[in-house]
A and B are shown apart, each in its own frame.
Chain A
Amino acid sequence: MTTPLLEAGAGVGVGTRRRPLGRRAAVAGLLGLAALAILGPLLLPDPTAQDLGRYLEAPSLDEPLGRDDYGRSVLARLAHATRLSLVLAALCVATALVLGTVAGIASAWFGGWIDAVLRAVSEAFVAIPALLVVLLVSALASGGSLWALYLGLALAQWVEYFRVVRARSGLVLGSPAVEAAGLLRLGALHVVRRHLWPDLRPLLTTLASLGMVTSILAMSTLGFVKVGLQPPRAELGLMITESFPFYDVAPWLSIAPIAVLFLLTICFLALRDPEVRP
């Protein structure tokens, strides 16, 4: 029953359409957080400066988010933690995206043994949770090195881009449109610019947004299980863990990092391309 007119009815609701309003709000939210991450460390006092006399000081005009159990400024620590999360996550996502996309397109374009090798490698990677790779790699460096965290997260995520890009590129490259481009002798550049890239872009936007969420959450989770970054570094997961014992006497300690974490992930989730539902 697929008369065009009836089709319109049947298709309604197969996937909620996220309004562009949501995306604009997400961009605004992320810009705000980025401002905190960029300007905060420049303008605010040293986040490691302890002042035990101001132990668990409540929020005030002078110190909007109060002070923690070492008397450190929560706002300053939060700004540093946000910057760390954003920069490290962006680096991981960029690395995984470039690696996975190039490998995926190569796999679909050339086929043959290149495809076979890349697929075998990805098959093994896909069954290993990101967290496990990160755990293993961060065991490499005691004391929670940033380098290990970056390597682990990027290594764990490239396979996702590879699989999606390979599958999608295979469809695009096998389509009549690309066959027609071949008959018209339009060349590889035309295929990449007009066929592959326009098709992959919304997918990659969505994957990268989700990748940011995954990276940020993985970092904070590792801080929580005490194998990621180590205190006294300001990191969202660590801040949540450290503040937990004080949740009833100093709730601002917990609420601030939780709110930032939640805001970061929600904004990135809303940034996904509404057409794509992975």
Chain B
Amino acid sequence: MEEIRLECLSKDFDGFVAVENVSLSIQSGELFSFLGPSGCGKTTLLRMIAGFEIPSTGRILIGNTDITDLPPYKRQVNTIFQNYSLFPHMTVFDNVAFGLRIRKSPKNEITKRVREMLSLVKMEDQANKFPEQISGGQKQRVAIARALINQPKVLLLDEPLAALDLKLRQHMLIELMNIHDAVGITFIYVTHDQGEAMSISDRVAVMNYGNIIQEGPPDDIYERPNSVFSAYFIGETNLISGEVIGIEDDYVQIRCPDGAGSSFNIDSTFHIQPTLGQELTVSLRPEKIAISRNKPRYQDDINILRGVIEDILYLGSHTQYIVNVGALKIRVFSQHKRVYFDDTALDWEEPVWLFWHDTDSWLINEIPENVLTVDEISEGGINHYQRSIKRPAIK
């Protein structure tokens, strides 16, 4: 059943378009994420659903009721704020009881419900403490209890874990999923952290410059990005531009210049109908590429490239190799399993073979204006990269 529907929603701040013509429907009980870099409009979108911003155009519907013009205190929607926003002059108990007291619920019911909520978030024994006396993770739990006690139809979460440290974040993520399962209401989750969005969500909408770029289940977005932006923003990838030089029944051949005067060919299965001579981009996830000092046995459906290791980064669970193919730098993740390969570790400057299956090359019908180098990636290149994808909407 459809719970919430956004119809052609836009928000304009004095000429700056924060959200542009977004239409979307979210199912009842779904855990839906808006994912994008800062400034992409995801928080504005959330604030419009909560009622803190009035849309410039468009409608918001919950169930079949139009709530576009309702003030926040009349919406059956509650929000978890990024900085928790617990009332500092009230105890944990009073914070959680706030919503019920506003509704003038009977006293014994308030006590009962607050106890229930606090036990749901495992905070029963902290009821009489003030917010300044509890930790960040605990504040988060109280904020969740305070929002859920009103039995909203939709719970909005605005970067709820951003202020927590890594371990706690991972822990709270699982906790959030459990709470979602326990209460069964719709969660709308806003984050810039693709890991969070991927692991928690039923569906994700990738946003950039006020638009939804792609929408779908996490694995769909990861495996089948529809744009250079999605491919780049979700996970890590190699983006290689080239020209279609051959089309067969089930694969295309793409000639990719290596930036050093020569070129190599990539074979790829296709989901978009390419035309001969068309320019497009191949997205190649680093973990799909195998790396070896021995030449693999030739197979029909395997791409093989020759390169030289420029850099090796040991990352614990895997090692990242940066391999020069001509002037292109291709990143490869290799897990530390020695079963398949020879026993000695690869070395700097060593010539290697890169190979991957045709189905692991993914075609994107879009050309980045400039190809991202490894240096740009390491210098927090996403902003740089965003700029390179042209966007006329910002006036």
* A and B are partners in one complex rather than unrelated chains: no
A interface with B by C-beta (< 8 Å): none
